[in-house]
């Protein structure tokens, strides 16, 4: 019967060891949770900074697009004025056609030379405007991609928070 009296003590010791193990596990879990929370907060702060940088970049790109747009509008206005100037020269040409043949030929040659020069200038301007349009289109596409990227990051961050 001596062995039976030891059984409650052994059970009590086992129970105490289990309590200590549970207490140790609880402490370890609390520490782990704190570390996870700190990591989450650091990641959130990093994402917030990255989003802020991307928003700044987007604003800068929008400003560039607006400046490019104004430049294109100015170029278009200039080309409209040049078109009107050409119309006036065509009217002069038509009047000259009604003059004597010698005057008409001389006038025509001067006008043709002038028109060829203007045509070269307009072609060069057209090339420049086309290059600007291409640059503007590329910049717009990049801005749209970054905006979509920002939106995706914002949604991902919202999921992480949620």
Q: Residues 65-78: what's their mean pLDDT? A: 89
DSSP 34-77: HHHHHHHHHHHHHHHHHHHHHHHHHHHHHHHHHHHHHHHHHHHH
User: Is the pLDDT higher at 101 or at 149?
Assistant: 149
Taking CA 88 as the corner, what is the angle to CA 86 and CA 94, rounded to the nearest 5 degrees? Answer: 105
Q: Which of 49-58, 70-79, 90-99 has the lowest mean pLDDT?
A: 90-99
- Give yes or no for residue 1 having a pLDDT over 60: no
DSSP 98: T
Q: Residues 48-65: what's their mean pLDDT? A: 89
Count of positions (residues) in the chain? 162
């Amino acid at each position: 019967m001596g062995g039976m009296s030891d059984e409650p003590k052994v059970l009590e010791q086992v129970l105490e060891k289990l309590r200590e193990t549970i207490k140790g596990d609880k402490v370890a879990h609390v520490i782990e949770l704190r570390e996870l929370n700190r990591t989450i907060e650091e990641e959130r702060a990093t994402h917030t900074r990255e989003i802020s940088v991307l928003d700044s970049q987007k604003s800068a790109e929008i400003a560039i697009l607006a400046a490019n747009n104004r430049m294109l509008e100015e170029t278009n206005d200039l080309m409209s004025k040049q078109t009107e100037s050409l119309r006036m020269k065509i009217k002069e040409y038509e009047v000259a056609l009604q003059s004597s043949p010698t005057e008409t030929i001389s006038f025509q040659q001067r006008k043709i030379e002038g028109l060829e020069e203007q045509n070269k200038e307009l072609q060069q301007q057209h090339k420049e405007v086309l290059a600007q349009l291409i640059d503007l289109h590329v910049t717009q596409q990049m801005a749209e991609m970054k905006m979509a990227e920002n939106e995706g990051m914002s949604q991902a961050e919202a999921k992480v928070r949620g």
